[in-house]
Amino acid sequence: MPWFVLYTKSRNEKLVAEQLRKRGIEVYCPLLKTARRWSDRTKIVEEPLFKSYCFVKLEEHERAQVFGVQGVVRYLFWLKKPAIVREEEIAAIKKMLNEVPHQCIKVTQFQVGDVLKIDSGSFAEQSGVVLRQQGNLVTLKLESLQMMLTVDVSKTMTVVV
């Protein structure tokens, strides 16, 4: 069975996951333990690693079952089909959350206009302006070379300048 990506209302990820579990649907909402500070105390809280997303493991014909749960908005689509996450990718997320200290984990989205420096590969030391991002693919405009370049940031180290 494939893992589908559910888009939820803001700050409803844990609630949606719990309601889906009660309905017998296999769901994964990766949680990150972070320290939150209030004026009188500091507390460790669990926050979703991916804001507004949960993963559900269902057969294609069972996908409609999730819409009876409050907080579910829609499925995430990729190329006009429901986005599917492979079992290995879910396992990799679980492994990372078990082995890496949570204070070292940060999900970053680049914004259009951010300046990035490429640290490795043929274009090492080149800087570019972010034109768009789709998942791990970031399209940069390299002014010095007068060209556009698409970089897979999961394989290339980049640093915001």
Q: Which pLDDT value is given to residue 111?
A: 81
Band of pLDDT at residue 113, cut at 50, 70 and 90: confident
Nearest-Å Rg of the Cα atoms of the chain is: 19
Cα 31 to Cα 20, 26, 73, 96, distances in angstroms? 16, 16, 20, 11
Closest CA to 134 of 89, 83, 86: 83
pLDDT tens across 66-111, in order?
999 999 999 998 888 899 999 999 999 999 888 888 777 777 677 8
Encoded tokens for 46: 């669990």
Which residue matches tokens 């190329």?
79
Q: In order of start, what are the domains of the chain with their CATH numbers?
A: 3-104 (3.30.70.940), 115-160 (2.30.30)
- CA-to-CA distance for 65 and 42, rounded, in angstroms? 39
Decide if pLDDT at 134 tops 60.
yes
103 burial (CB, 10 Å; 0-12 / 13-18 / 19+) is: exposed
Q: Is the dihedral of CA 146, 150, 152, 155 positive or negative?
A: negative
